[in-house]
Amino acid sequence: MQNDKRPENMKRINTPELAEEFIREQVEAIRAEVKDKKVLLALSGGVDSSVVAALLIKAIGKQLVCVHVNHGLMRKGESEQVIEVFGKNLDANLIYVDATDRFLSLLEGVSDPERKRKIIGGEFIKVFAEEAAKLQGISFLAQGTIYPDILESDGVKAHHNVGGLPKEMNFELVEPIKLLYKDEVRVVGEALGLPHDMVYRQPFPGPGLGVRCLGAITRDRLNALREADAILREEFDNSGLAGKVWQYFIAVPDMKSTGVKDGKRYEGWPAIIRAVNTTDAMTATIEEIPYPLLHLITKRITAEVNGINRVLLDLTPKPVGTIEWE
Ligand code: XMP
């Protein structure tokens, strides 16, 4: 559709008007390219794939088939939001696959971080390819490639993305936002009417909570992590930190300590808070979360989340600690 180099005179899309103009141009270009054929998209619910989905729905409606694979490692409410926004509000042709059991049984007993990532990435491709094989008459594959992905394709991020799809799938690619920077993708997403929290959400790794449920994943610890993470996000939203801090999450290690609850011994896992700021994710500094907020989060997590009996704060900048724990 376009080549891979951003023209030097291309304006930075930073107003709704410029976004509208981009959308008009892309809708026309997509229609001209796709005609009456069908397009397939792996829709994770992340910023990039969501914006591509909304753009394609605008251009070709039900000729776009979105497949959302829930690997069971999503944050609380994420798959539900995909169904709500795309399935209901935008009336998309959406296939929802709950593959939680497949992923969690493959991951059972696996504690090595690299193996975990490989299993999650490999299985994701398998599930998606299986869904694609069930469909008839797909000619194109849409992808949420953005400009930094092209610039950094040999760099750190290359091995990261679970969304990288099998080369043997013989589709032509549709990559309508591949010349855009992240901030532009967000402006375009808002102009397309996507919810603000979807368009401005913090980065989330492809393997999801899988790399934050440290060591060998178990369902009970994964659930505890998901609930604790939801509380952290809720309190960051309430206090206004959500719009200010680059990335914040909980990690739960595979170890227990002694505690006491309702007068009884209470063994539980610790929830580790990590909140960092960065511009390029290569280095990161620590957000200074106010103590009253830390106390509130601690009180809520230990009271509301089954299995957590301590809350810890990770004060390590990158380097030396990577942003994720695994
Ligand atoms: P690290 O842990 O390497 O993370 O300091 C840097 C940034 O990359 C994100 N990250 C990932 N993103 N797939 C992704 O799409 C992944 O497998 C992955 N692993 C880490 C991390 O959340 C941070 O923003």
Residues 68-79 pLDDT 10s: 999 999 999 999
Residue 190 located in a structural domain: yes
pLDDT given for residue 267 in this prediction: 98
Q: At what angle do helices 100-107 and 113-134 cross, to 10 degrees?
A: 150
Residue 11 lies in a domain: no
Model confidence at 161: pLDDT above 70: no
Tell me the pLDDT band of 24, cut-offs 50, 70 and 90: very high
Strand-strand pairing, 285-286 and 269-277 = antiparallel
CA 100-104-110 angle, to 5 degrees, is 160
Degrees, nearest 5: CA angle 165-171-173: 75
Question: How confident is the model over 243-264, as a mean pLDDT?
Answer: 97
Identity of the amino acid at 241: L
Question: Is a pLDDT exceeding 50 seen at residue 158?
Answer: no
- Residue with CA closest to ligand 1 atom 12: 205
Asked if 174 and 273 sit in the same domain, the reply is no
Radius of gyration of the chain (CA): 21
| pLDDT for position 167 | 62
Nearest CA to ligand 1 atom 14: 205
* Residue 155 pLDDT: 46
- What was the pLDDT predicted at 3? 75
The answer to the question of residue 3 being in a domain is no
Q: What is the CATH number of the domain that holds 278?
A: 3.30.300.10
Residues 70 and 177 in one domain: yes
Structure tokens at 32: 């001209």
Confidence of residue 52 (pLDDT cuts 50, 70, 90): very high
Ligand 1 contacts CB of residue 44 (under 6 A): no
- Residue 32: per-residue pLDDT: 98
For residue 110, what is the domain's CATH number?
Answer: 3.40.50.620
Asked if residue 234 and residue 180 are part of one domain, the reply reads no
Determine, yes or no, domain membership for 103.
yes
Distance 33 CA to ligand 1 centre (A): 34
Q: Say if ligand 1 is within 6 A of residue 203 CB.
A: yes
Lookup: tokens for 61? 């409606």
* Whether residue 72 is found in the same domain as residue 43: yes
Question: 99-138: per-residue pLDDT in tens?
Answer: 999 999 999 999 999 999 999 999 999 999 999 999 999 9
Task: Give the number of the atom of ligand 1 that is nearest the alpha carbon of residue 162.
Answer: 13
Domain count, the chain: 2
DSSP 8-state assignment for residue 155 = S
Cβ of 324 closer than 6 Å to ligand 1, yes or no, is yes
Q: For residue 250, which of 270, 274, 231, 233 has the smallest C-alpha distance?
A: 274
Task: Let me know if residue 6 belongs to a domain.
Answer: no
> CA 181 to CA 189: how far, in whole Å?
12
Asked if 258 and 267 count as a contact pair (C-beta separation under 8 A), the reply is yes
Last residue of a domain, one of 164, 199, 234: 199
Distance of CA 298 to the CA centre of its chain: 25
Q: Are residues 227 and 251 in the same domain?
A: yes
Reduced to 3 states (helix: H, G, I; strand: E, B; else coil), residue 295 is helix
Domain holding 266, by residue range, is 212-313
Asked whether residue 2 is domain-assigned, the answer is no
